[in-house]
Structure 1
Amino acid sequence: MKYFTNNLYELANLFSFGHHTVDRCIEFICSTPHNLCDNSIESIAVEVEKCTRIKPFIGGYRHTMTGAEFHHAAVQTIPKKRPDKEIEEFCRDTQTVDEKTQQQQTNNTTSTQMSKIGCYVSNITDRLLAPGMYMTAEEYHARRLHATLVIQTHTRRWLATRYVQQLRNQKMLYLEWVEQEALRRKLEKENRMKRDFERRMNPKTKEDFELVFSTLEQWRQEEMDHISATLTGTDRKAALCALLEQEAQIIACIGRHKLTAGDENVKKMERFDARELKDLYASVNMTSLTQEERLDVLLILKHTVQEHDCKLTQEIVELIDREEDLLTRGVKKVSLEGLRQRISTLFLQYIKTPLFNPEVIRLLKVPQDPLTLRKNIYLCSGCNRYLTSSEFKITTRSSAIGRCQHCYLLENEAHHREEYSEYRDMLKHLRQTEADYPVKGKIACLIQEKDLQYLLEAIWGVQSALSAWDELSELVLVRWNKYVEWSPWNCILLTKDEAKAHFKLKDVEKVNIFDIGITAQAKHIVKTKRYNSLVFL
């Protein structure tokens, strides 16, 4: 072994050079192993090659007197990097420690005491045990097997009893649900009949009068069928003339009811604010008020117009302040007539402004927006009036704008007398259902009552596609594929209960109960061809 005695400070300075390679010879004094008995000292020159890597500085010492620094040279020696074997290697511990948990019971010294001379042990609590019959291993296992079978038998009996009880409870709940549903349908039908009877006896809206005329048409058809089946010749003609006269009287009575209902609807449609403005305008124009009453009216008028800040209201407030000032000074009424007329005129202009009084829009004959007159006016081919687009009823199968809603209503009352209340309720339910989806359907908003009537009568036959239920009040149009927007080619006619079950299906394309899937797809193809103008909306 060689013992180097050179100055460590010089060696540390050697390793602390920069990035360049430096070759330097350092002499080390060591004892040679050639002759251990002879303490000969030999000086050996060692060449040190400086590496290009920067070695980290990990501390050292500093002499407080001389200021010399002594670095930790051993820790600054970076080992050479092993050559890459081009094989991914992993290191792991070679020693695996096995842990084992074992309980250790400490020693507990016990002893027994027997009776002997000088020691008495009581035998009051002792028992005498008689040996029983010897049981072989086969008998023991047979006994255990029998006990196991008994336990399994009673357990299975208990499980079967519980399962039967669950089925019985489910059946009772189902029967109760069926009874409640039947009662609900009965009550809904009774309420609907009462509502229809009330609508026929006391019609108020356009829909109510449609129902009245539809009932009148049904009655006329029944009477005509009865007359045609029972009478012939002149008797038949006389009966038809009497029927026509009776129908005319009923139509006249319906017309009188319509006039009365129209007046009532106008009164109900008036807003409370519009009525207040009307009363306030009448109070402003009254000339028999005292000074205190006039000041109260002006104060109310001032608070009313101050709700909207604009040039008109500012002018009205300024005139009100001027009249209040003149009244407090005792000016005569004759001198205030011009000022009061100016306030009345400006307040009337305030009332006629739709921004302040929305109810005045339906009383204005000329639209306030000039763009409405330029782009949104069409000619009705029935009454030859120029009306806005909102006055026309356009279906999805219409190619041009024809007659207005009023003309269609007159034609329906005179000839067809059809009633669309059930289709209207179904369409309302459809739009509410589509509004609950994250992506709201757009085509459902374009469908009208006549389009829905065509879908039900021409495509689905006014009956459920699954159960052939034909009561229109219980039928609904829902999506065939619930993940696709509703459209005439993506719908199916079902009852309300069937629709709830239909929404639980994940993949309707796999459903083929009674060939309903094939039937629905065929009808969807027919509807796609019928409504091809809506496919590319």
Structure 2
Amino acid sequence: MPFKVDTIFKYFKDHFSHLLKIPPFVLQISYAGIILKNNETLIQHGIKPQEIVQLELSSTNPDLYPIKRIEGLSDVSQIITVTVHTGINQYQVVAVEIIKSDFHKPFLGGFRHKITGTEYHNAGTQTVPKKIPEKVSAFSRDTQTVSQRKKLQQTTNTTSTQMSKIGVYVSNMTDKLLEPGEYFSAAEYHARRLKAVIVIQTRYRQWHAKVFVEKLKRQKQLRLEWEAQEELRKIKEKEEWLQRDYDRRHNPKTDEDFELLYNALDLWHQEELSRINQCLTRAERKAALCELLEKETQIIASIGRHRHIACLDRQETAIQAFLDKCSAPKTWRRADGKTIEMDTQFTIRARELQNIYKCIILKTLSQDERLDILLTLKHTVKVPQDPLKFYKKIHFCRNCQLYLPSTEFAIATTSQHIYRCRHCTSLENEAKQREAFLKYKCLLQRLYASEADYEDNSQIAFLMQLQDIQYLMENIWASQSVLSAWDDINDLVMVRWNKSLEWSPWNCILLTKDEAVAHLKLTSIEESKRNVQDKLKNLVLFDKATYDKLCKEVPSYKLITPAVVSERLKIQGSLSRAALQELCSKGLIKVVSKHRAQIIYTRNTKGGDAPAAGEEA
């Protein structure tokens, strides 16, 4: 049977499975004693095109699925190769297809050569004769039915009228008297129709205007209701935030709550210190400072007592939650909606430790029972066989001089070494800076939520940490909205400057929530105002202090070059060239000499309103 050499053997099995009426998975094809795989082809085993090979077909289960002789293969063609002599010492191999057919052509006579004995027929062909086309049907329903057509005819009807005359009386009781109407021309008729059309258009436009006005009223009513709901929602969120802040300060439980207390303590200390320095002098000032120190010490001690109580309350809850989570079986949902649970060796061991912990915390145990539980705990949590595998997970804290696991260390994005653990970092913050990172944490969570809504696989935003957000807020955006200068961090969000690109520190803008919604509705950045763009470019290129120094000091130089600006402001050369071009476009400086190597500027003595320091930063 002819097949292509690039055909996979799975096609062979499917073909013979259809002929033998047996499943394809029980068929097995072998060549030269090698069992062939489904994804292999003839050409992979060195079989060339137009080559005749023999493959063995067998069944892996001959008792249930035996291979029988295939009937009806006589019509299948075969291909043989014939060597044809084309010249002196020249031969050509020709592939000849032999078609097996049961058709026998009639003998039409002929003759035989007397010397060679070759027979010659009067007529003969090597191909099967063409099939006789089927006879077209000579009958149809159209030729067996009668077509009918119905047509009405109207015949003439002779009528006549009778008038009154002598000898004939015709009654006029049923006659009607018709009076001719007013005559009007075609122009008057069309004018009357035009007037009617105008009336219809007027009424329609009146109705359409009423519908449009009613629609505007409904939209306005819905808009006012939505604005009222939004105002109530904002007020409610503000009240909830104030209530949560009040609860955090009066009933602190988490580390963030105590950071707020220490931050409030630091603000109070600075206010009292400034008041004492302004109002008192010498001995009175020293006494007031001692009293302030005593009050601060008492407040710190009170905060420490509250923290100790909160830690005890949280510790038991955290331990129970940790044990419950570790001992819970692995669960997943099947396609039919049912839940499958599976216990692993780790969950079983965690459940054993949980049972031991529950027994240890019981206070009604006798001495022997408690000793038995402690022995069980000793054998359960004994030293592992290979403690070396834990060495890479342990780091040394240089402040508290302790070896702690890696989870106790906070690693920044730019840090190369690990020096202090989380506890020492928090303790240093409470003793020196006393900063509250809760507001930056909330801002970072709002950033995570907004970036997750885009669903464009943005990654940079989820790598940001609290210190990074704090740097952007304080050093780049001055902790206020770039449009309205609103400085309440609880109302600020950090969104994309160009929403078609993923969020990054160089593609972000700090706005209020309402301003962010309006900004994200812009289809193009060019729709925003030019001064806002300039302000944002300056803020992205420089921080506030550098930009103030640029606008204040550089226009007063006599000789200004990019190298001078780069050296005095400690910025890169490309930024200095961009800054000088910006100052030149504003008229603060002017070009003195322009070469291909560099451009030399000087101060503009004719005028040019220099912006105040910090005006656009």
Q: Same fold (TM over 0.5)?
A: yes
Question: Percent sequence identity over matched residues?
Answer: 43
> Taking structure 1 as reference, are residues 309 and 237 closer, same or farther at Cα in structure 2, changes over 3 Å only?
closer
CA contact (8 A) 1:395 1:451 kept: no
Aligned partner of 1:18 in structure 2 is none
Q: Which letter does structure 2 place at the counterpart of 1:512? A: S
Q: Which letter does structure 1 place at the counterpart of 2:400? A: C
Aligned partner of 1:58 in structure 2 is 131
Question: For the residues of structure 1 that align with 2:283 and 2:494, how far apart are their CA atoms?
Answer: 50
Aligned partner of 1:141 in structure 2 is 190
> Taking structure 1 as reference, are residues 439 and 273 closer, same or farther at Cα in structure 2, changes over 3 Å only?
closer
2:400 maps to 1:371: no
Aligned partner of 1:180 in structure 2 is 229
Question: For the residues of structure 1 that align with 2:527 and 2:379, how far apart are their CA atoms?
Answer: 65
Aligned partner of 2:409 in structure 1 is 392
Cα deviation for residue 426 of structure 1 reads 1.2
> Taking structure 1 as reference, are residues 443 and 25 closer, same or farther at Cα in structure 2, changes over 3 Å only?
closer
Cα deviation for residue 447 of structure 1 reads 1.6
2:514 maps to 1:497: yes
Cα deviation for residue 460 of structure 1 reads 1.7
Cα deviation for residue 264 of structure 1 reads 0.6
Cα deviation for residue 482 of structure 1 reads 3.2
Match of 1:348 among 374, 377, 382: 377
Q: Which letter does structure 1 place at the counterpart of 2:233? A: R
Aligned partner of 2:418 in structure 1 is 401
Aligned partner of 2:267 in structure 1 is 218
Q: Which letter does structure 1 place at the counterpart of 2:315? A: V
CA contact (8 A) 1:434 1:486 kept: yes
Cα deviation for residue 10 of structure 1 reads 10
* Counterpart mapping for 1:403-442 below 5 A: 403-442=420-459
2:486 maps to 1:469: yes
> Taking structure 1 as reference, are residues 245 and 273 closer, same or farther at Cα in structure 2, changes over 3 Å only?
closer
Cα deviation for residue 198 of structure 1 reads 0.9
Question: For the residues of structure 1 that align with 2:174 and 2:380, how far apart are their CA atoms?
Answer: 113
CA contact (8 A) 2:476 2:540 kept: no
The C-alpha deviation readout for 1:34-68, integer Å capped at 9, x for no partner, is: xxxxxxxxxxxxxx9x9x996843359xxxxxxxx
Aligned partner of 1:513 in structure 2 is 529
The C-alpha deviation readout for 1:132-170, integer Å capped at 9, x for no partner, is: 101111111111122222222232233333333333333
Question: For the residues of structure 1 that align with 2:378 and 2:173, how far apart are their CA atoms?
Answer: 121
Question: For the residues of structure 2 that align with 1:113 and 1:179, how far apart are their CA atoms?
Answer: 85
Aligned partner of 2:312 in structure 1 is 263
Q: Which letter does structure 2 place at the counterpart of 1:414? A: A
Decide which structure has the larger Cα Rg and report it: 1
CA contact (8 A) 1:381 1:403 kept: yes
Cα deviation for residue 262 of structure 1 reads 0.9
The C-alpha deviation readout for 1:317-360, integer Å capped at 9, x for no partner, is: xxxxxxxxxxxxxxxxxxxx9xx99985774257648xxxxxxx
* Counterpart mapping for 1:68-467 below 5 A: 106-107=152-153, 128-271=177-320, 344=373, 347-348=376-377, 352=381, 370-374=388-392, 376-467=393-484
Question: For the residues of structure 1 that align with 2:485 and 2:279, how far apart are their CA atoms?
Answer: 35
> Taking structure 1 as reference, are residues 351 and 429 closer, same or farther at Cα in structure 2, changes over 3 Å only?
farther
CA contact (8 A) 2:412 2:465 kept: yes
> Taking structure 1 as reference, are residues 129 and 470 closer, same or farther at Cα in structure 2, changes over 3 Å only?
farther
Q: Which letter does structure 1 place at the counterpart of 2:275? A: H
**Structure 1 residues without counterparts, runs of 5 or longer:** 1-8, 15-23, 27-47, 61-103, 278-305, 317-336, 354-363, 533-537
Q: Which letter does structure 1 place at the counterpart of 2:213? A: V
TM-score, with structure 2 as normaliser:
0.52
Aligned length: 379
Question: For the residues of structure 1 that align with 2:223 and 2:464, how far apart are their CA atoms?
Answer: 38
CA contact (8 A) 1:395 1:447 kept: no
Question: For the residues of structure 2 that align with 1:439 and 1:417, how far apart are their CA atoms?
Answer: 38
Q: Over the residues paired in the alignment, what is the CA RMSD in angstroms?
A: 4.6
- Greater Cα shift, 213-222 or 484-493: 484-493
> Taking structure 1 as reference, are residues 56 and 403 closer, same or farther at Cα in structure 2, changes over 3 Å only?
same
The C-alpha deviation readout for 1:225-276, integer Å capped at 9, x for no partner, is: 222333233222222221111111111111111111111111221317959x
Greater fraction of residues in strand: 2
Q: Which letter does structure 2 place at the counterpart of 1:389? A: S
CA contact (8 A) 2:108 2:121 kept: no
CA contact (8 A) 1:203 1:209 kept: yes
> Taking structure 1 as reference, are residues 443 and 161 closer, same or farther at Cα in structure 2, changes over 3 Å only?
same
Question: For the residues of structure 2 that align with 1:480 and 1:487, how far apart are their CA atoms?
Answer: 9
Question: For the residues of structure 2 that align with 1:131 and 1:421, how far apart are their CA atoms?
Answer: 97
TM-score, with structure 1 as normaliser:
0.59
2:495 maps to 1:478: yes
Greater fraction of residues in helix: 1
Q: Which letter does structure 2 place at the counterpart of 1:416? A: Q
Question: For the residues of structure 2 that align with 1:417 and 1:262, how far apart are their CA atoms?
Answer: 20
Q: Which letter does structure 1 place at the counterpart of 2:292? A: L
Cα deviation for residue 453 of structure 1 reads 1.1
